[in-house]
Amino acid sequence: MTTDPLSPYAAALGAHLAELHPALEAYFRAVPRGQVGVGHGVFERVGCRNRVVRVLLGPVLRVLERRGAVYAGWAEGVPFTVRNRDDGGRSAERTLHLPDGNWTMRDRVRPLPHGRIVDRLGRDGVLAAVFEVKASEGALALHSTRVGLRLGSRRIRFPRCIAPRIRLIESVGDGSGLQRVALTVDVPLLGRIHEYAGTFRYDIEEDA
């Protein structure tokens, strides 16, 4: 008899997985083989709010958008769908249903030793970040310790003094039963260059 592997989040948290809200504990366990985790919700905000930063970083953000890593614009009240699968790591697709069409961000998370994960975003893992994973008052908290960018066959690690600082909190809303996700990306001197925040409802379904 085979058993489903641990998700990278469960592997990183170990016994601390039980400190999460029960809905989050279920979310961060492995999705069983042959099934897919599906969430439907709304992002209150997503993208880069600061117009000056969007102009300064526009060419880079647009390349990352084309590679399925980062949404380059700014939008509010955006419906989205997330689909999670586990197969030795967690693969996720988050599709934003924008007024001018759908855009999908893809990433793959794998476990690392010492309570960490690595998240590779976009086609060919154009962006990668190492995160420390913690349970905090029933929520899951991630904060980045390393961030890198792939250019062709080379991967460049940002020096700590200029590296983006990425923080993500997954929690459960007050009585609504909805799951809440909030991510921020801040860069020294530039400030906030990317963020998203929203709520969604999540279920496990048979994988078509």
pLDDT digit string (tens) for the chain, length 208 residues: 344 578 999 999 999 999 999 999 999 999 999 999 999 999 999 999 999 999 999 999 999 999 999 999 999 999 999 999 998 899 999 999 999 999 999 999 999 999 999 999 999 999 999 999 999 999 999 999 999 999 878 889 999 899 999 999 999 977 778 999 999 999 999 999 999 999 999 999 998 7
d(CA 189, CA 197): 23
Token pair belonging to 18: 């039980």
The 3-state DSSP class for residue 126 equals: coil
Q: Is the dihedral of CA 197, 202, 204, 206 positive or negative?
A: negative
d(CA 83, CA 68): 15
Question: CATH top-level class for 8-202?
Answer: mainly beta
| Matching residue, tokens 């998370």 | 109
Question: Residue 109: in which H helix or E strand, if any?
Answer: strand 101-112
> Is residue 183 within 8 Å of residue 140, measured between CB atoms?
no
